[in-house]
A and B are shown apart, each in its own frame.
Chain A
Amino acid sequence: MKLRDIASQIRAEVLSGEELLDDIDIECAYGADLMSDVLAFARPGSLLLTGLTNIQIVRTAQMLDLPAVVFVRGKKPQEAAVKLASQIKMPILLCHMSMFESCGILFQKGILPCHIPDRGV
């Protein structure tokens, strides 16, 4: 699904990277407030949904080749995070829904989860 359609499905405001929305295709997504887990489990190319706002969110996405970030629960990313995202051409979306609702809608519309390998626990 195009990032533009994702933004419209979860009624997200585009904070930066508007011009890139039609170029990015999303198949799967990862929702977390724990960047350590994102680094462990998110697949390259996934959309990241988070309620944290610091610059490390953008850096984490950058390390994993995640093309865009959605900030949920109406959270606004810190200025440094937005600046870095603009520099590296990573669109930033703001969504007022909860993590559960935004992920639920995207799942219902066919966005897939990232595979989490069997933890063997």
Chain B
Amino acid sequence: MEEYAILAGDFSAIGEASTKFKATLKMLGIPSDLVRRASVIAYEAEMNALIHGGGGVLRMTVYDDRLEIVARDEGPGIPDVSLAMQEGYSTATDEIRELGFGAGMGLPNIDRNADSLLIETEIDKGTTLLATVIFPSP
């Protein structure tokens, strides 16, 4: 298990945790397509936790048959999860958009790369995302 803090306002550091996850997965000998899927999930989740959640925690746990990525923030929560899951829907600021993100693709991207995705969110309390990637049986 690996866990990293996502610090509020530190846009340039986004992706550092995902990079470390990726290195760990490669070291464990996980197939490259699964590593890539997990990396995209972690990166998008890291980005979301910073942009919308004001920072939080990113955790990855590798089991024999799957890996789980959990991103937790104590931000404002998501009022309508099904709306947030729609491609193109975004509440990101112009500042974030100018950097090439906030196009409303984050959650759909995570969903596309995960075998299962669970989002628990409460207004003014925060959001926890759990994405699972299942390893194909040998």
A interface, CB within 8 angstroms of B: 33-37, 39-40, 44, 50, 52, 54-57, 59-60, 62-65, 80
Instruction: Point out the residues of chain B lying under 8 angstroms from A37, CB to CB.
Output: 103, 105
User: Which among B32, B36, B108, B112 is the interface contact of A63 at CB below 8 angstroms?
Assistant: B36
Closest to A64 in B: B36
Stretch at the interface among B10-18, B62-70, B72-80, B117-125: B10-18
Instruction: Point out the residues of chain A lying under 8 angstroms from B103, CB to CB.
Output: 34, 36-37
| A40 and B36 contact, CB distance less than 8 A | no
- B84 → A minimal CB distance (Å): 14
B contact residues, total (Cβ < 8 Å): 25
- B1 → A minimal CB distance (Å): 21
The distance in angstroms between the C-alpha atoms of A33 and B40, with both chains bound, is: 18
29 A–B pairs (Cβ distance < 8 Å), ordered by A:
A33-B100, A34-B100, A35-B100, A36-B101, A36-B103, A36-B104, A36-B109, A37-B103, A39-B40, A39-B44, A39-B105, A39-B109, A40-B105, A54-B100, A56-B11, A56-B14, A56-B100, A56-B101, A59-B18, A59-B43, A60-B15, A60-B100, A62-B19, A63-B18, A63-B22, A63-B43, A64-B36, A65-B32, A65-B36
- A22 → B minimal CB distance (Å): 23
Instruction: Point out the residues of chain B lying under 8 angstroms from A44, CB to CB.
Output: 32-33, 36
**A56 and B104 in contact, given A40-B109, A63-B22, A63-B36 (Cβ under 8 angstroms):** no
- A84 → B minimal CB distance (Å): 9
- A44 → B minimal CB distance (Å): 6
Instruction: Point out the residues of chain A lying under 8 angstroms from B101, CB to CB.
Output: 35-36, 56
| A52 and B99 contact, CB distance less than 8 A | yes
Q: Does residue B102 face the partner (Cβ distance < 8 Å to A)?
A: yes
| B12 and A80 contact, CB distance less than 8 A | yes
- A83 → B minimal CB distance (Å): 11
Instruction: Point out the residues of chain A lying under 8 angstroms from B99, CB to CB.
Output: 35, 52, 54, 56
CB-CB nearest 4 A-B residue pairs: A59-B15, A36-B105, A35-B100, A36-B103
